[in-house]
Structure 1
Amino acid sequence: MQYIEECNRESPPGTTTRTPHQDGDLVLTFPSSTDASVVSWFQERLCKKVPQISVQLCRHAQMGQIALYCSPAAEHLLLRGAEELRMRKRLRPEWGGGHREFSCAEQDCFEGAGQLSGQERQRVMLHWLREGLRAAGPGDHPGPSSGHHTPCLEGQCLVEWCLAEGLLSQLVALHSCKDLDWLKRHWVLAFFRRQPLERIRHYFGAKVAMYFAWLGHYTWALALPALVGLLVGLSCGGSHGQQVQEDACLVGFTLLNMLWATIYLEMWKRYSAELSYQWGTLDEQSELLVEPRPQFRGEPSRSAVTGRLEPSYPSWKRHLFRYLVTLPVVAGCLLLVVLAVFLIFQLQHWWDEWRVQRHFLGNFSFLPKVLLAVVIHVLDTVYYRIALWLNDMENYRLDQDYEDQLIIKIALVSSCTTRMWALGMHPSGIVASYSVHFPCLHT
């Protein structure tokens, strides 16, 4: 609290000096090189367009940053925001249970008497920021009117646009020390207890809670194949006369893994559907209602769903670039990785023979392996930049599609380099086999 009071003393006249709520307030941070006019523009626009939010200006002297702490002007406004968002909350058992859209007039019918969790508070305030800070025209934004690569369209969310253009550093939520301490004691340090999924969902949201639910479910499900694998490993350590028995055990273990994977997928489908129903997340928002990425390029056109100006980009251009440019480039990168690794395999083979012929003292057989590690690291770094460029050129509308395609591109080459690295740790047998089948490599 002493730090907040010091920030309040530095606030200019007219700035709200209310202490932010510790459970779910949002913070807008600006880069150290941000002009004071940009901060003033944001502060004035928030006061005029988003009266539901109380704004406090803080200057972080040690980090050289300026931050705007956003808190609800009144607690009852959060409930109205939840009603506007049609947020689904759990009903009391005497009112039938289940989930229903929240209503301020019937808040006593819901569990918690209409109290919102920290994650729900953040969702309401983020909704206020996105809907209140929208551009009225191409020049309605902070900073200079020229010099930005991405134009600001009418009705576009200014917060996301400023984040993409670097006028804002980040938009984050303040943590609650009380909730974090509870989660640390009853979740992080409690190894043999069930995960408090409800508390995780209330604090981090349904997506994070669903991930940890899957992680716990998958960990417990691995107990059966781990136990069977241990028994198979112990029983297959006999003499060569038991080769038939060992082969039968390995085949049976493989079939068991296939059966286990099928059963586990069905069990997880049922468990995840149960959690989704309990948390009221079965109905997802249509992608037509999700705003496009600020980096999404295209000709401005009025959306038939939202009625706002949005960039429009034909899908055939994306498919054309993907098939004519992305696929050949990714295939070329894969071939380059395989070629580089097998050349290092040949170098390892030549190096070992040269050391034997010259009676070279010292154990320097690891030098080609060091070169392999350096080459793989360089190729991964270069390919990551190539994958980013390819993804940007494909011009995806939604962040989810952009991230999914980027993960696919990176995973393709990363899995290849990982396997090549594993082979590179013991390349002698591989090189010998290739020397038999491809003797021209040594001529």
Structure 2
Amino acid sequence: MSNAIKTQKKTIGLHDICKKNSKIPITNPGHKSSKIDNQMKSLELLSIKPETDPDNSLTCSNISVPSNATELTETSFLDKSNSAESSSLILDTFSQSSASKLIRRKIPRAGHLMTPRHLWIQSIPPKACDVVLTFTKTTDYKTIEWVKSLIVDESNGFSLSVNVQYHSSTDSYCFYLTASFHVLMKAAQDVHLPKKIIGGGGLREFILSEMNIFEGIEDHSNFFTMQERQTLILYVLNTLRVQNCDWLTELVESQPLISECMSNGIIEHLFPVHENKTLKWLRIIWVKSFFSLQPLDKVCDYFGVKVAMYFAWIGHYTGSLIYPAIAYSTFWFGFGRQLDQWTEGVWFVVLAFMNVLWLTVYLETWKRYCAELAYRWATLDQRHQFLLQPRLEFKGHPRISPITGKAELWYPNWKRRLFSYFVSAPIIGLCLAVVFVLTILQIKLQDWWDSYIETNEYPTYLSYISKIMLALIIAVLDDIYNIIAVWLNDCENYRLDTEYENQLIIKVTLFQFVNSFLSLFYIAFYLQDQERLRTQLAVLLITRQLIRNIKESALPYVLEQIRFAKISFDLFGALTPSDGPAKPNGERVVSQPELECSMFKL
């Protein structure tokens, strides 16, 4: 580290000025005049101005800093200390009552948690940011500049716009990435992006030479949706290759830049930025409108085809369940309890036949509805696998494709098969054997526990403890095996995302089927205890549903509150209330990419 960088850590930053008082001059007797001059130049670079900008400035006593104060230029990129301290000032003071101010003076950190979340932290949408790329804390400046030079390089025809930022909340540098309209059009042509044509006629693959036939081409800002822009930027990033990095010996030349940097601890995250306006609309029209139809087209435009297709299936399946629910409820509440055993058995057979008939009709109607959605979203026609782009994590040897004539990465199939036969298959078999042994031992433990309760005349409800333990073991084994399955799939190194997902589904489905139903099959066909089977099935269904709800709903909510609280401490906890003017709504704001980056970090 150079002496200039070392001395920068000793200079007074904006954060220290605001914590004291704006009337205190920016001086430090312990520093030389040259250091003070450098500090004043840094303040000029950040464009400090009087607090007269109510829209895009942040007040701390009598100093106002624009919300883009953390933007780094080529000359100020290495000035980490000044940028780090100034970025923490993107916030506003609250306009609170005297009692609240008094409490916050006494307890400056805990006071922020006494305010509702929608007041004490709000994000500012980015002006020119579609994708955020974050670096690890240990990444040096030379490497960051090298990555930036590859991203902005125009030699390959794709040059992204990079806005370098420093996030004080995570103590890391990041890139705010976007692309010009011309670059997006070139990428759309390469990925064969379907777009609407003028005058109807459905969708057609985008061609740059025929761009005038596409609907909305004159509106550069809205021609591509947010999801399409982010997909195209990801495609451009995937085309970048490692080159000219002699000091980074761990990186392999000609390999994908992003995946190599991620696997070697240079890049930490790569994620798209949300669009608050669209999310708010979806929350009102989709999430909160329980009985309204799903806006599947809007969901597809924002989240992509896969997510939209999933929710389309959920809606179709839920609606189809109405018919068997009516039939079974009519039978049960109408005359199900008034029949003798023989007649009840006949009706059960009839209902089972109706269930099979309903299932057949449901599958056919879903196939038709799925084909309709696939045509509407232009996913019916699938290109040949050799014409598709490889996934980001795919590793291979560079060669010239015999089909397209372009440079590509190639991985021999015999290596993949060798790993599958001699590594993946034995590990999966070992996991299934572990499941079998643990299930048998748990059932034996249930027998011993039931006899122990009966012998000592304990309450009968204690017998459910061992059954609940089996459900917990099944859930834990599922989580452990998911990690193993992902690792095996990564080692098999599939080229396409579809191949990777299909193989992962096969591995996970095989294990989950054995893990979930082995105990039921053992009780039903080996022990042949129907009463125990009924009890075990009920315990498994209820317990696993509770575990799933906790993991998917309760736990994310709790973690979100903890993360927001930590972000509040990191960004606002060191600030004390001020009597100076604040925004009319009393909001504290932070840039949306920084907020999302902080959520990833925690």
TM-score range, shorter chain: 0.7 to 0.9
Name 1:146's counterpart in structure 2.
249
Q: CA-to-partner distance for each residue in 1:197-238, whole Å, 9 max, x for gaps?
A: 221122122222222222222221221122222223334642
**Pairing 1:102-251 to 2, within 5 Å after superposition:** 102-103=206-207, 107=211, 109-114=213-218, 115-131=223-239, 133-136=240-243, 140-141=244-245, 144-147=247-250, 151-152=252-253, 154=254, 156-235=255-334, 237-239=336-338, 242-251=340-349
Is the CA contact (8 Å cut-off) linking 2:71 and 2:163 kept in structure 1?
A: no
Query: Are 2:191 and 1:88 aligned?
Result: no
Structure 1 residue 81: Cα displacement? 4.1
Is the CA contact (8 Å cut-off) linking 2:129 and 2:176 kept in structure 1?
A: no
Q: CA-to-partner distance for each residue in 1:138-197, whole Å, 9 max, x for gaps?
A: xx45x953345xx44x3x431233234332122222211111111111111111211112
Is the CA contact (8 Å cut-off) linking 2:70 and 2:165 kept in structure 1?
A: no
Q: Secondary structure at the match of 1:28?
A: strand
- How has the CA–CA distance of structure 1 residues 394 and 77 changed in structure 2, closer, same or farther, with 3 Å as cutoff? closer
Q: Secondary structure at the match of 1:338?
A: helix
Name 2:445's counterpart in structure 1.
347
Name 2:205's counterpart in structure 1.
101
Structure 1 residue 130: Cα displacement? 2.9
Q: Secondary structure at the match of 1:341?
A: helix
Name 1:279's counterpart in structure 2.
377
Q: CA-to-partner distance for each residue in 1:337-389, whole Å, 9 max, x for gaps?
A: 23322222222222333444455689754553465456445544553444344
- Count of paired positions: 416
| Percent of residue pairs bearing the same amino acid type | 35
1-side partners of 2:447 and 2:525: how far apart? 10
Amino acid of the structure 1 residue aligned with 2:188: A
**Pairing 1:283-294 to 2, within 5 Å after superposition:** 283-293=381-391
Amino acid of the structure 2 residue aligned with 1:98: G
Name 1:407's counterpart in structure 2.
505
| Greater alpha carbon shift after TM alignment, 258-267 vs 303-312 | 303-312
Q: Secondary structure at the match of 1:112?
A: coil
| Greater alpha carbon shift after TM alignment, 64-73 vs 282-291 | 282-291
Structure 1 residue 69: Cα displacement? 0.5
2-side partners of 1:130 and 1:404: how far apart? 22
Structure 1 residue 6: Cα displacement? 4.7
Name 1:438's counterpart in structure 2.
none
Amino acid of the structure 2 residue aligned with 1:38: T
Amino acid of the structure 2 residue aligned with 1:415: F
1-side partners of 2:451 and 2:289: how far apart? 55
So what's the TM-score if we normalise by structure 1? 0.79
Q: CA-to-partner distance for each residue in 1:74-126, whole Å, 9 max, x for gaps?
A: x4553454345443211233xx5222233556555433345221122223323
- How has the CA–CA distance of structure 1 residues 277 and 365 changed in structure 2, closer, same or farther, with 3 Å as cutoff? closer
**Pairing 1:260-271 to 2, within 5 Å after superposition:** 260-271=358-369
Gaps of 5+ in 2: 1-55, 59-64, 78-123, 531-602
Structure 1 residue 5: Cα displacement? 4.4
- How has the CA–CA distance of structure 1 residues 66 and 354 changed in structure 2, closer, same or farther, with 3 Å as cutoff? same
Is the CA contact (8 Å cut-off) linking 1:72 and 1:125 kept in structure 2?
A: yes
Structure 1 residue 299: Cα displacement? 5.6
Structure 1 residue 62: Cα displacement? 0.9
| Greater alpha carbon shift after TM alignment, 22-31 vs 203-212 | 22-31
Gaps of 5+ in 1: 435-443
Name 1:29's counterpart in structure 2.
134
Q: Secondary structure at the match of 2:169?
A: coil
Name 1:62's counterpart in structure 2.
169
Structure 1 residue 61: Cα displacement? 0.4
Q: CA-to-partner distance for each residue in 1:314-357, whole Å, 9 max, x for gaps?
A: 34x54454445544443443233233222222222223334444
| Greater alpha carbon shift after TM alignment, 371-380 vs 21-30 | 371-380
- How has the CA–CA distance of structure 1 residues 235 and 251 changed in structure 2, closer, same or farther, with 3 Å as cutoff? farther
So what's the TM-score if we normalise by structure 2? 0.60
2-side partners of 1:384 and 1:393: how far apart? 14
- How has the CA–CA distance of structure 1 residues 348 and 79 changed in structure 2, closer, same or farther, with 3 Å as cutoff? closer
2-side partners of 1:219 and 1:11: how far apart? 51
Tell me: higher relative CO, structure 1 or 2? Use CA pairs within 8 A at least 6 residues apart. 2
For the aligned residues, what is the CA RMSD?
3.7
Name 2:150's counterpart in structure 1.
45
Is the CA contact (8 Å cut-off) linking 2:250 and 2:264 kept in structure 1?
A: no
